[in-house]
Amino acid sequence: MTGSSPGAPGPLDRPLAPHGKADAVRERLITAIAVGQYLPGTKLPPERDLAQTLGVSRATLREAMGQLEETGVLVKRLGRTGGSFVAEAEDSREQFRDVAVRVLATSWQDLVHASDAMCRLQDTIVRAAAENRTEEHVHLLRERLEEFRAAPSGRAKQAADAALHLAIAEAGGNPVLADILFRAEQQLALSAPVHLWGDPQDQADMEQRALQDHEQLVALIASRDADAAGHLARRHAGIDLDLLERFRARAQQQAAQRPR
């Protein structure tokens, strides 16, 4: 929910080692689907970018994605607008909870540190936006806010969220800061510029929370209230970790209730 440039904090917080196996890549992609980083119907980033982010060869990535295509998790489409897409089945995330919980467990402390770093970076970016914004920036921010408000739930909302945060970063007027944020986010996730969208049953609540935060952020930037805007941005950036905590707790509860 805090995207400001390509890349976003998520469960895929560390590039894999160069010798990483296709199974590890497959599990990372499954985790991204399970926690809502990639929603049903979402197109994955280009193969070259994805392999570079993970620190693996394109051959390893192709093997992992091939496994997911064979099991119906991913769908390959040809043509100019083609690529690899998450299957439209709404229950696809439900199938992979155990894998996702295991992946999250191995990197949870890293995620906590990553979330703290992103909160601090977003604080700085939004303060800069409040201090440096022009009237043109304010006009664009209000347009992006209305686009977020009007966007249907799910993928369209994700895209509108990313566009709004990108406009905030641009309003900061400091390309070095924006680049630092971009590079930090690139290390924390696979998708670009998509952020976690949570478990299906959490989405309505989360999107309403995000809308309220966005309304306040735009108003505070417009009024040049840098302190209040930065404080809110730090809290807003914590949504991703909140969603992961909800997902993990719910998955663990469901696992405990299964017949043994």
CATH number of the CATH domain containing 92: 1.20.120.530
Arithmetic mean of pLDDT over the chain: 82
Domain count, the chain: 1
Gap between the Cα atoms of 110 and 11, Å rounded? 9
Contact 36, 154 (CB under 8 A): no
Length of the chain: 260
Of 18-27, 50-59, 144-153, where does the model show the most confidence? 144-153
Looking at per-residue confidence, does 123 or 186 come out higher?
Answer: 123
Q: What pLDDT sits at residue 234?
A: 95
pTM of the model: 0.74
**pLDDT band for position 191 (cuts 50, 70, 90):** very low
Of 79-88, 129-138, 178-187, where does the model show the most confidence? 129-138
Stated as kind and residue range, the H or E segment containing 207 is: helix 203-222
**pLDDT band for position 199 (cuts 50, 70, 90):** low
- The stretch 142-153 carries a mean pLDDT of 96
Give residues with Cβ within 8 angstroms of 181, minimum separation 6. Answer: 4, 5, 121, 122, 125, 169
Q: Which domain holds residue 233?
A: 1-260
Pull the structure tokens for residue 19: 């010798």
